[in-house]
Amino acid sequence: MTATTDDKLASAAEVKLALTDQTKRDLSKEERLALIKVNLAETLDFDIIEKIVEEGRHPRIYWGTATTGRPHCGYFVPALKIGQLLAAGCNVVILLADIHGFLDNLKAPIELVNHRAEYYKFCITAILNAVGVPTEKLEFVLGSSYQKSPEYIMDLYKLCSVVSEHDAKKAGAEVVKQSDNAPLSGLLYPILQVLDEEYLKVDCQFGGVDQRKLFTAAKEWLPKLGYRERAHIMNPMVPGLHGSKMSSSDPDSKIDLLDAPEVVAKKIKKAEAAPGVTEGNGLLSFTEFVLLPASSLYGDGEFRVDRERDGLEPLVYKDVAQMHSDYKNDILTPQLLKPAVSKALNALLAPIQAAYQASKEWQEVTLKAYPPEEKKKKVKKVKDKGSRYPGAAKGDAAAEAPAEGAEAAATQ
């Protein structure tokens, strides 16, 4: 199932209304389902959610993130979706998957995972606040708070006995770092994520389309332990600045939430954006899935592109399709798009960075979670010039050379 552009635009106003006016009126079942579906790339077993909404209940949905590298601007995509889920009356759980971060090829050292989980909580809360999403109804859960329990560990053993190595590797192919001689922990990662659906007592798991294989595995594996199937909803993956997936582990592909305005502008200026090519264009995708929806939540729902330098009126977009058309026809050029994205993104990051500057606790956690790398001092190697070099003391050669008798004795 793929959402159309019209669905996205029609729902933007509904989201803003639902977030700001939810206490004044109740949304209809149709409006709630529309908010849950909007801006998704795909859904699995959505009828599970439809049935819950039809019964007048509130779906319990979880979104998890492994606490590894620093959260980046790609996190705005799920954050905006979480805002829509909250507006639709869903109960949303955010799993700070600290143990997952450790299992994924040691991306998060065990000594740092707790600090990184705290850092993620600060970041995610600030992102949601920046786009006008109330966080009072959010529930944050630390993975290690229940993943060490005897019941969970026993279920882990049970799944390990019925899931093959091939299937575990396939399920985690898009989300776990792959290598020729990968540690066994990478096979446990998807098994834990599947079990999380049962232990968090959710009706649905939300994630990116890169987790589709894992979601289909959950549909197959959980019934083997006698647990029910859950629904799954997936947001699109926003390309990075160089066309590939935006990743915490690739600093060149992402913009950090705490990057200074000039750093943001510099990174966007260097981003790949071939003229007339919309496919794989990270800047256009980021505008479509972050900047425009965010503006609908806290602003006027517009994306403006200044053309003062050319003495022309600004380009104003509320329609993603029009942006793509103008870009293909060279009306919207990379030279115009890049500074417009920089300006809009820096406006979005400003309240997050202000919150960071105002919080000593957040700053202290940052240093603990991501301690600065200690630069190793280079030790100057003393060259062995030998004994026969200009300026050597006259006695050097005689002192260093063994006596004839000693040399003779050594060779005997």
Overall pTM > 0.85 = no
Mean pLDDT taken over the chain: 85
**pLDDT tens digits, residue range 5-63?**
344 434 444 555 455 454 445 889 999 999 999 889 999 999 999 999 999 999 999 99
Please give the pLDDT value at position 309. 86
pLDDT for residue 22: 46
**pLDDT tens digits along 336-392:** 999 999 999 999 999 999 999 999 999 999 999 999 877 766 666 766 666 665 665
pLDDT at 398: 47
Sign of CA dihedral 315, 262, 243, 348: negative
Query: Who contacts 68 (Cβ-Cβ below 8 Å, separation ≥6)?
Result: 101, 104, 107, 108, 116, 248, 249
Residue 247: pLDDT band (50, 70, 90) is: low
Beta carbons of 159 and 221 less than 8 angstroms apart: yes
More confident residue, 263 or 136: 263
Quote the pLDDT of residue 250: 55
Counting residues of the chain whose pLDDT is more than 70, the rounded percentage is 80
Is the CB of residue 349 less than 8 Å from the CB of residue 257? yes
Angle between helical axes of 185-199 and 212-221 (0-180°, round to 10):
70
Domains (range + CATH), the chain = 5-235 (3.40.50.620), 251-369 (1.10.240.10)
Do 345 and 291 contact (CB within 8 A), yes or no? Answer: yes
What is the b/e burial string over 96-114, where b = at least 16 CB atoms within 10 angstroms of the residue's CB?
bbbbbbbbbbebbeeebbb
User: What letter would DSSP give residue 288?
Assistant: I
Predicted local distance difference test score (pLDDT) of residue 225: 97
How far is 294 from 135, CA to CA, in rounded Å? 16
Would the pLDDT of 143 be above 90?
yes
Residue 245 backbone phi and psi in degrees, to 5: -60, 135
Residue 264 reports pLDDT greater than 60: yes
pLDDT tens digits, residue range 195-229?
999 999 999 999 999 999 999 999 999 999 999 99
